[in-house]
Amino acid sequence: MFSLFSLADFWWACWTVIKLSVVSWGISNVVGFLLALAKQSRFKFLNIPASLYIWLFRSLPLLVLLIFIYNLPQALPSTSGLLSDPFWAGVIAMVICESAYIAEVHRGGLLSIPKGQGEAAKALGIRFVGIQWLVVIPQALRVALPALGNEFTSVVKLTSLISVISLTEILMVGQRLYTQNFLVMETMAAVAIYYVLIVTLFDFLLKRLEAYLDVTTKKVARQPGEELLEQIKNAPAPQFNAASDYEGPALNASKLHKAYNNVEVLGSVDLSIKQGEVVSVIGPSGSGKTTLIRLLNGLEQLDNGEIDLNGQPFIKLHRFGPEKYRFIEHSEHRRKIGMVFQSFNLFPHLSVLDNLLLAPRYHRLAPVAELKQQAYQLLNKVGMLEHAWKYPHQLSGGQQQRVAIARALMMRPQIMLFDEPTSALDPEKVNEVLQVIEDLAREGITMVIVTHEMNFAFKVSNRVVFMEQGRVVCDDTPQALREGNNPRVEAFLKDVSLA
């Protein structure tokens, strides 16, 4: 049996199995990921064919598919150039079959990624393909990799079936040998060892890849030098202009309406924000505050209404009749709006510095060296410079939210939206985030803040908007609301001690 390991035919057959497995598995991963995306799509012309494909080819035995494809040139002579080669016929059959299984593995990985990850990337102006490539795939791959490794092992073992179409792989070499030497057990034991060696090698490589992608086991890659820290701290802090040259409202929303499952959440809301104005939106839970701010950024589609930025159309629902309408979004304006989420939504697979650099590099706003300098300055501005090379999981909640604010500011937005930025924080971490927002308010940045921090809202805001049951009940200055001119607002604030 051991003498069989010196045969060149076996080693060439091993190389054939490796090539066949790697090519089939690699292509199946790409096709499977596209199938997973299509199956999750809300468009029926994508999800129905993808679902049918997965159902059909998970049901068909590979051997049946293999024989069918290898004999296909009899019906379609034009395919004989490719399919008459057993290697490529085997690759095609295995890709068709394995893609259906791998699609479900990828779908599991995609479903494990929080929705907020895609929303955070979209809020930074990154388009669908960029979101998948830069944010979703790296995280989904890490989740799916153990299952994908199992699929690779299955692919290696399934290559033995390709011998039925005369591909010289390990099993065929073994069959030829034992018909000559009649040592069936010894020869097949050698065949088994070859397969075990291949699987063990690639299992080791995939485990190394899995460990490399697991950021939770990584330590801080490097620390900023004292010279760099001093240089950044002594540099002038980045300043933000209040807005553009347009003299009208920075943001104007009219007749916004949104319903979920025929339940109205927002009804005919009008909101106008002046340049450099800070507006806080308050109200009881379920009053539509978060829905409003998500509509302003295009994270939810309007059921009616329109939104303008600096006098230019941003989002509009154009109606052609009672049943026909078209949602229109001028996505080039999305970068003018910065968004800070309640749950931070930092990208966990990227360091703090790379979180800030991702969108500006994607949009090519400046050379990388210049962008890094800006990122350092912003991190210094929010008190997070010493943590630039850490990962989000190594930060506290307050630190993550300050990084999220810096990430939004990296795009130089004209308007900042804050969706309850302190509600997910411990009480002792709230003040450090509020202080950053207060500093931004002093610089004249236009801001809309959804918050439950009443004292903060009345302190930094030019106007306070009170919402209830999806409508604006009161929109006035903090002083006017303090004087109790509105009974409903007075009742809401009766237990709040305003400073």
Q: What is the dihedral of CA 423, 425, 429, 430, to 10 degrees?
A: 0
Domain assignment present for 94: yes
Domain assignment present for 219: no
- The CATH number linked to 321 is 3.40.50.300
Length of the chain: 499
Domain assignment present for 227: no
Looking at the fold, whether 453 and 361 belong to one and the same domain comes out as yes
- Give the domain range for residue 323: 251-492
pTM of this structure = 0.87
pLDDT at 183 over 90: no
pLDDT at 40 over 50: yes
330 token code pair: 């001028």
Domain assignment present for 18: yes
State the pLDDT at residue 165: 83
Domain assignment present for 222: no
Domain assignment present for 234: no
Average pLDDT over residues 377-384: 90
pLDDT band at 295 (very low <50, low <70, confident <90, very high): very high
What strands lie across the sheet with 337-340, from one edge to the other? 337-340, 415-419, 446-450, 278-282, 463-468, 471-476
Mean pLDDT of the chain: 88
Looking at the fold, whether 97 and 162 belong to one and the same domain comes out as yes
Looking at the fold, whether 260 and 334 belong to one and the same domain comes out as yes
Amino acid 238 reads: P
Looking at the fold, whether 293 and 185 belong to one and the same domain comes out as no
Domains in the chain, number: 2
Looking at the fold, whether 263 and 195 belong to one and the same domain comes out as no
Percent of the chain with pLDDT over 90: 57
More confident residue, 219 or 94: 94
Asked if 53 and 100 count as a contact pair (C-beta separation under 8 A), the reply is: yes
Looking at the fold, whether 331 and 399 belong to one and the same domain comes out as yes
Looking at the fold, whether 330 and 408 belong to one and the same domain comes out as yes
Low-confidence winner among 17-21, 140-144, 300-304, 322-326 (lowest mean pLDDT): 322-326
Average pLDDT over residues 439-448: 89
Average pLDDT over residues 176-187: 83
Asked if 378 and 233 count as a contact pair (C-beta separation under 8 A), the reply is: no
pLDDT at 242 over 50: no
Looking at the fold, whether 204 and 268 belong to one and the same domain comes out as no
- The CATH number linked to 34 is 1.10.3720.10
Looking at the fold, whether 194 and 279 belong to one and the same domain comes out as no
b/e per residue, 202-233, with b = 16+ CB within 10 A? beeebeeeeeebebeeeeeeeebeeeebeebe
Looking at the fold, whether 74 and 208 belong to one and the same domain comes out as yes
More confident residue, 19 or 167: 19
Last residue of some domain: 183, 213, 243? 213
Looking at the fold, whether 332 and 441 belong to one and the same domain comes out as yes
Average pLDDT over residues 401-430: 90
Q: Looking up tokens 């009804």, which residue turns up?
A: 267
Domain assignment present for 223: no
Q: What is the dihedral of CA 272, 278, 279, 284, to 10 degrees?
A: 160
pLDDT band at 214 (very low <50, low <70, confident <90, very high): confident
Q: Looking up tokens 């001690």, which residue turns up?
A: 497
323 token code pair: 């049943």
Last residue of some domain: 167, 190, 213? 213
Looking at the fold, whether 206 and 262 belong to one and the same domain comes out as no
Domain assignment present for 282: yes
pLDDT band at 38 (very low <50, low <70, confident <90, very high): very high
Residues 6 or more apart whose CB falls under 8 angstroms from that of 111 comprise 40
